[in-house]
Chains A and B, each alone.
Chain A
Amino acid sequence: MKRFIGFIKKEFYHIFRDRRSLFILFGMPIAQIMLFGFAITNEINNVDIAVLDHSKDATTKEIINKISTSKYFSINQFIDREADIETIFKKGKVKAVLNFEEGFSKNLIKNNKATIQIITDATDPNTANTISNYVNAILQQYQKGLNKHITIAYQIVPETRMVYNPELKSVYMFVPGVMTIILMLVSAMMTSISITREKELGTMEILLVSPIKPIQVIIGKVFPYIFLSIINAIVIVVLSIFIFKMPVQGSLFLLAFESVLFIITALALGILISTISATQQTAMMISLMGLMLPVILLSGFIFPISSMPLPLQVISNIIPAKWFIIIIKGIMLKGVGLQYLWKETLILVGMTIFFIGLSVKKYKIRLE
């Protein structure tokens, strides 16, 4: 036991001696969460729209005005010919063109009907679709104003209640996600090189001939990093509560417990990477190239998992980040306790045991 404590002490010294790394380790997550919390949104604002108005009458002017005063759109360009649509799309700035038919106002009075084409640059399908929906909604509002005198019979009106995030803030979606990728990547990267470094620098052999057991070496290596990651997690949670006004509806204690659990899962994964790679470079590449994109794309951080093709939904289950995101959102936004999150918690526990077990096994093989 004494020997083990001595080993842990050594590891602590090792980390805290390297001030530059520590500065990077603590500074980066803070900078990232501030940047992303404020900057990233999948809402649509100020999208550039151009207008091709064949009619140029009072009604079209009114509609253009309605659209350009909404916060979603800004109308800066007016074009005169159909051929110009292609040209401005190719430049890339303008995302949609509203094409008013000739005699718009006249048609509306005479036939009770007039047409607008909404031509969108659908290389970005999400933006294209949203633009089209929003323009439609604005026009419907406008239409309602025109049809004030008509009451429509038989109406079922959905009364929608948005729960857990009534203002539809996208920061509620992104803060848990950013928190997860930071904890996941930083933790995994830290431990992934801890053992490979010893191998590469040749100090591993010294460890191997020492009387410390393999499991003790691994625990000793992980231990200091648990501390570092916990401090990181605390900083992130404090920032998200005080700066981004994230609620913590559930128990702060549970949040702390789950964060520690997730940190240990990520560290264990790092250790596993460490035991299977020969050089630091390989270890780094596996943890960076192998984890970054899957964690961003398959965890439900940005893209809804339920919309993915079935095989990918299945694969997403092996991404620890997916379960942690469910847990954080549950605790912070829904305010649920362990009785709702025991399944996710158990999965993380299981993954951790699996990673550690496999690392110990791999590590032993090297001993022989």
Chain B
Amino acid sequence: MKIILYIIQKEFKQIFRNKGMLPIIFVLPLLQLVILSNAATFEVKNIKFGYIDNDHTSTSRALVEKFNASTYFNVLTDFPSEALANSSMLKGEVDVLLQIPHYFERDLQKEKHNNLGVTINAIDGAAAGVENVYITQIVQRFNQNIKVDILQVSDKQIQPIAIETIPLFWYNKTLNYKTFMVPGILVLLVTMITLFLSGMNIVREKEIGTLEQINVTPIKKSQFIIGKLFPFWVIGMGLLTVGLILAKVIFNIPIIGSLPLLYLYTSIYILVILGIGLFISNFTNTQQQAMFIAWFFTVIFILMSGLFTPIESMPKWAQTITEFNPIKYFVEVMRMVMLKGSGFMDILPQLLKTLLYAFIMNALAVWSYKKTN
């Protein structure tokens, strides 16, 4: 026990002696939490909107005005010609282009029906879909207004059947993205810090040659590993704590569920990450290799965690892969406990899987550590 304490002491000293490292461990992640959480929004607004009005009548102007009044669209330019509009679209200055045809008003009055050209930059398919919905809504409302203005009594006789839908958004009534993203980004930061630090740590001693010196001392492997990893576990838990405080104070993220439950889960989760880090350390010779591998898995873990894109939309084989993704479970648990107040029984599946994962990873790590020496 005493030996472990000494090792822990040594490791802590080593971390805190490195002045260049301290801001990277503590300031950089929290700064990113505060800044980047604002970036992660799928909301589509400030759409760059341009139009070509070939009609120049009160109706066409009224229609453009409707877009202007909408908060989603930034009406930028009235293009005098299609060529100019297209070139602007190619430059990326405009993402939605409305084309009002010649004789728009006249034809509308005559035929009671008219078409409107809409061009959408669809490279971001999801955003394009949303933009399309906005445009349809604005035009529909415009239609309604014309109807009220010009509708004859005879048109009113048959009332159409209507199914009314009432959308209710639970747990996040205002559809605030930060509520969703802050817990997720906090997960990433805790994971990245603990993984990168632990992954590099032992391989560093290998590279510099000090590992052999430790190996010839009477210390047991298990003591050595525990002593090595414990400080990172503490750093991870500390980061979580500060992150939660910031989430509450700066973003006012609700923490509905039980904090002890959250800490219980995190304490097991970090063991998984440390196990992975140690495992990587054992299989590499240089810090560079270790970091490339850590980076490789982190990018995969992040993008397939359900943090930014929904897991259930992935193909079945990819969903199977996500079962092995620790970040996925942590993101789920954080969001469930913090935002919905899910209890112990609700997160039990995730908790058990993480526990099993922690056991397997650390067993593998300790086993492979013995083998390489």
Contacts and interface: CB of A to CB of B under 8 A. Distances in A.
A150 B129 contact: no
A24 to B, nearest CB: 5
Interface string A45-57: 1111000000000
Contacts of A46: 312-313
A235 interface: no
Contact of B295 (A115, A189, A193, A200): A189
Given A32-B299, A92-B342, A288-B295, A115 B166 contact: yes
Interface stretch (B5-13, B170-178, B217-225, B271-279): B170-178
Interface in A11-53: 18, 20-21, 24-25, 28, 31-32, 35-36, 38-48
Interface residues of A, dominant DSSP: helix
A159 B170 contact: no
B224 to A, nearest CB: 19
A252 to B, nearest CB: 18
A41 B175 CA distance: 21
Interface stretch (B134-142, B241-249, B261-269): B134-142
Interface in B39-67: 39-48, 63
B302 A123 contact: no
Contacts of A346: none
A326 interface: yes
Contact of A47 (B146, B176, B310): B310
A274 B339 CA distance: 41
B97 to A, nearest CB: 9
Most chain B beta-carbon contacts within 10 A, residue among A90, A120, A185, A309: A90
Contacts of A350: none
Contacts of B123: 164-165, 172-173, 329, 333-334
A158 interface: yes
Given A41-B309, A312-B35, A90 B341 contact: yes
B102 interface: no
Interface string B26-46: 001100100110111111111
Contacts, number: 370
A125 interface: yes
Nearest to A140: B163
Interface in A289-327: 289-290, 292-294, 296-298, 302-304, 306-309, 312, 315-316, 326
A128 B175 contact: yes
B48 to A, nearest CB: 7
Contacts of A143: 160-163
A290 to B, nearest CB: 6
Given A154-B150, A163-B119, A45 B41 contact: no
B38 A309 contact: yes
Given A24-B293, A40-B314, A288-B291, A136 B165 contact: yes
A117 B139 CA distance: 25
Interface string B328-350: 00001001100111110010000
A155 interface: yes
Contacts of A124: 180, 310, 335
A308 B38 contact: yes
Interface residues on A, range: 35 or more
B92 A123 contact: no
Given A193-B287, A285-B21, A123 B292 contact: no
A297 B164 CA distance: 38
Given A125-B177, A156-B115, 10 more contacts: A90-B336, A91-B342, A118-B166, A124-B310, A147-B160, A154-B108, A158-B116, A189-B292, A289-B28, A309-B38
Interface of B: 18, 20-21, 24-25, 28-29, 32, 35-36, 38-48, 63, 89-92, 95, 108, 112-129, 132-133, 135-136, 139, 142-143, 146-147, 150-151, 155, 158-173, 175-177, 179-180, 185, 188-189, 192-193, 196-197, 200, 204, 208, 284-289, 291-296, 298-300, 302-304, 308-310, 312-315, 318, 321, 332, 335-336, 339-343, 346
Closest 5 CB pairs between A and B? A168-B125, A39-B318, A122-B169, A162-B122, A125-B175
28 contacts: A28-B295, A32-B296, A42-B42, A44-B310, A47-B310, A90-B336, A92-B336, A108-B163, A112-B161, A112-B162, A113-B162, A116-B163, A122-B172, A123-B339, A158-B136, A160-B118, A160-B132, A162-B122, A167-B125, A170-B126, A185-B299, A284-B288, A285-B21, A288-B298, A292-B298, A304-B124, A306-B45, A333-B123
